[in-house]
């Protein structure tokens, strides 16, 4: 009788258990494609006159392709903005957006590794490594008076990681998070994400390690990065120079909100008003 009940229990429990394990295995093996959907990257429009292509090599030899967009009007102080787009953004679109927002700045943006035409395979580790190389190249090539990194969504994690290793005059982080693993855990609460995750970006740790002034722009209706994920980042920043939440904006539509451009320019004005970092 007992053996029959045990067999019945196994018969009832085994199929859902196998389905669960299958879903967990899918998340583990598909996470790179889910986080970095290289096939969904939209082509940007034509770049402004005077834009030039840029090329770098990674330590392992892959080519990274990007763009430099010169300022439409130049101030006496040369400002260089390094752009790091979202996980489905190409360099040209990000460069165009930044140039429209900040026409008096030099803009440098590269396609992430594995995002065509850049070569290689995408990963959080590769993005962090490449950000250092892009920074060093841009600083040596353009010799700016100030350098500010702007990160959108997943790019906010890349920009924050750069600030932990290099001197920047400021960070503008749009819809940022404290930890990419924690964001994934919030979305897939039913899976052991913390054990399976292979692409961690942890701005909350990176910001604690340096005194770079930080500007944060968040969406009040962001259902991808919940409020606590951004709040932890605010508390971690040693110098929170600017903090704006657009209450009726979400994670993806914040860029189209009528208050977005004004908030971005306000963030930059505040960062430019900060004392210049010593080199």
pLDDT value, residue 25:
83
Which pLDDT score, from 0 to 100, does residue 41 have?
Answer: 84
**Averaged pLDDT of the chain:** 91
- Cα 198 to chain center, whole Å? 16
139-185: per-residue pLDDT in tens?
999 999 999 999 999 999 999 999 999 999 999 999 999 999 999 99
Contact of 110 with 66, CB cutoff 8 Å: yes
In this prediction, residue 33 carries a pLDDT of: 92
Residue 22 pLDDT: 82
pLDDT digits (tens, 9 = 90+) for 251-274: 999 999 999 999 999 999 999 998
Say if residue 279's pLDDT is above 80: no
18-42 per-position pLDDT tens digit: 787 788 788 888 899 998 999 888 7
Could you give all domains of the chain from N- to C-terminal order, each with its CATH number?
Answer: 36-272 (3.40.50.1820)
Task: Please say whether the beta carbons of 110 and 84 come within 8 A.
Answer: no
Neighbours of 185 (CB within 10 A): 15
95-120 pLDDT tens trace: 999 999 999 999 999 999 999 999 99
- Residue 248 gets the label, from left (phi > 0), alpha (psi -120 to 50) or beta, of alpha
Q: pLDDT at position 29, please? A: 85
Using pLDDT thresholds of 50, 70 and 90, give the confidence band for residue 11.
low
- pLDDT, greater one: 162 or 17: 162
Residue 209 has pLDDT above 60, yes or no: yes
Share of the chain above pLDDT 70, in %: 94
* Whether residue 210 has pLDDT greater than 80: yes
Q: Rounded to whole angstroms, how far apart are CA atoms 218 and 235?
A: 14
Residues 141-146: contacts with CB under 8 Å, at least 24 apart: 142/68, 142/78, 142/80, 142/106, 142/108, 143/78, 144/78, 144/79, 144/80, 144/106, 145/77, 145/78, 145/79, 145/276, 146/77, 146/78, 146/79, 146/80, 146/170, 146/272, 146/276
CA gap 27, 185 in Å, rounded: 12
Distance of alpha carbon 273 from its chain centroid, rounded?
Answer: 24
């Amino acid at each position: 009788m007992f053996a029959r009940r045990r067999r019945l229990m196994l018969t009832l429990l085994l199929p859902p258990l196998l389905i669960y394990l299958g879903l967990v295995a899918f998340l583990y093996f598909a996470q790179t494609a889910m986080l970095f959907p290289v096939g969904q990257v939209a082509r940007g429009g034509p770049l402004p006159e005077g834009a030039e292509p840029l090329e770098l090599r990674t330590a392992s030899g892959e080519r990274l392709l990007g763009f430099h967009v010169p300022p439409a009007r130049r101030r006496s102080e040369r400002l260089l903005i390094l752009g790091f787009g979202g996980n489905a953004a190409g360099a040209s679109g990000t460069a165009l957006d930044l140039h429209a927002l900040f026409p008096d700045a030099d803009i440098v943006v590269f396609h992430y590794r594995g995002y065509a035409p850049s070569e290689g395979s995408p990963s959080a580790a590769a993005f962090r490594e490449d950000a250092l190389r892009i920074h060093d190249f841009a600083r040596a090539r353009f010799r700016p008076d100030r350098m500010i990194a702007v990160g959108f969504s997943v790019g906010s994690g890349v920009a924050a990681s750069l600030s932990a290793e290099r001197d920047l005059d400021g960070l503008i982080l749009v819809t940022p998070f404290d930890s990419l693993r924690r964001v994934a855990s919030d979305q897939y609460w039913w899976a052991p994400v913390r054990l399976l995750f292979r692409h961690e970006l942890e701005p909350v740790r990176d910001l604690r390690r340096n005194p770079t002034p930080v500007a944060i722009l968040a969406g009040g209706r962001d259902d991808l990065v919940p409020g606590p994920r951004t709040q932890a980042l605010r508390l971690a920043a040693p110098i929170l120079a600017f903090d704006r939440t657009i209450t009726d904006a979400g994670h993806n539509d914040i860029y189209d909100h009528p208050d977005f451009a004004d908030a971005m320019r306000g963030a930059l004005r505040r960062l430019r008003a900060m004392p210049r970092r010593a080199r």
